[in-house]
Structure 1
Amino acid sequence: MSLHILKPGLQTTIQDGGRPGKLRWGLARGGAADTVAMALANLLLGNPASHPCLEVTLTGPEIAFTTDMSIAITGAHFELTLNGASLENDTVIRVQAGDRLRFGTLQSGARAYIALAAEFAIEPCMGSLSTHVIAGFGGVAGRALEAGDQLPLRNCRIEKIRRLPGAYRLDYGNRPLLRAVAGQEAHHFLSRAQQQLYAGGFTVSPQSNRMGIRLDGPPLPGENLPQQVSSAVCPGTVQVPPNGLPIISFVEGQTIGGYPRIAHVISADVHRLGQLTAGTVLNLERIDAEGARKIQREKAHLLMKLPDLL
């Protein structure tokens, strides 16, 4: 029982919930770039929310199945076909031995997730199957999948056909809004620098990756910023280097940084970073810590009640 990778796409990797709790040792969490999209695909199949799956980035793969099983695809919208017949996101799909799944043109978003009603028969690394792309470990030899790879499976099963309720279907067609709280050094920036950050004039740079989302636009003024020692950063931290162009730390980002931290994307919105493509115009909205906690509780509650709705 296996998946046969006929065409790998730009960067298709095995991902799960990553390796949380290891920042103190210099190891980023890693894992899925969009944890909500991954959770939705897994919950459709009755899996735990962070069950290992395939993360597809910008250009999708072509995959042959050697056994009968169920799958689900969420996140970015591609033109999808199974043996030439069109498929949709957000529903349980039954595949049979010999079937071929193909990803075509990307329509919206950046990353899709293929969840399996099965387990990868692969040895975990530091408690996770997630591929740390930049450091080169986990997954399949620490790399993106390549044509010819055979991914061994076990415990394959068939699930009943069901769809995500409308309120849970992700839409990436609108200009993204990222909510943020003040960063540790926000008070050192001029008020006009903070106003500029939240005015919505930045776009996502093509130089962005799983380590960080780089922003292009008018540089933020940085007059009289004090020198600082390297300090903790984590996914969502917005740092401002000397060139004035913000960098948002992401899932494989460094664990300490020496640039002032002007803001921090709230935990409930960090997953949205995983769906940004080059040239996307961002809106940043400043909220307070209590507002951030409220949004996080509400999003967690939505995911918790989803299994009862399926």
Structure 2
Amino acid sequence: MKNTKTVELKNRISPERTTGISIPLGALCTKKNTVIGEYTVLPELAKFCKKAGIGLIQLLPVNDTGTQSSPYSGLSAFALHPIYIDLTALPEFEALYAEDKKFKKDYDAFVKDNPYDGKKRYNYSAILNKKDELLRALYQTTDIAKTEKPSDELTKWIKNNPWIVNYAVYKNLKFKYMQASWKEWKKEDQNPGEKDIEKRWTDSKNQKENLFYAWTQMRANQQFKTACDAVKKAGIIIKGDMPILMNEDSCDAWALPGIFNQNLRAGSPVDNENPSGQNWGFPTYNWKYLKEHDYNWWKDRL
């Protein structure tokens, strides 16, 4: 009797060799995306790959990393990075840009003051902070912000992405604490537990802010999916990457402490360039706990 899973897998994998490139999304600037590479630039890269005979694009992780610029320093195992959102492609952008002089001035200054020519590092912190400010201005124009209730579109998205509850509550607190580590927050805000997080999520005082992070993630997800679909349609394979370890200051370490060994840190052993070895600062996994919970967190990630 044939192993149907093996047959299915063989049918899905091409035996042909394929030339590929590995690249961080932020480096993909174009005449349109002049500040930093964004989700919407991927179809343009696919066109280039087609002409150059490149069949595969491997992206470095695009998880939200907060104030850390390394794509492997994940602030969340699930959330996409808002820094890669193309503001001009948001359905809320055109009207606000045309009608609000302050927003237009701020956006134009943002583009003018942050040119990226590939010759030096882009200013991660400046771009992140200004983009957050502009995203908040766009969010204020939505019925979601005005009514402090999710739209039908957002309600459906939240239902399909339950991780957003932990993330939104965490990001809201992170903003209030001026991005300080959760270990420096007040005791009642550290590792509050599932029921308390759910209570904070539904609390009317936090609704508008919580929904801002949900709206942002929905828009990022839409842009990324549309771009990836276009890449696939062009006949190019797009391959993802994910940070295997999580930052100790991540949403996951805060909301789901049982998953991690907080008293241990991952790193690398001694070598010629690092005579003392390396401590990456990332907690290791509590595999006993994960096994007891049927590895649900990992299954959800994958």
> Which is strand-richer, 1 or 2?
1
TM-score normalised to structure 2 length: 0.26
Larger Rg: 2
> Which is helix-richer, 1 or 2?
2
TM-score normalised to structure 1 length: 0.25
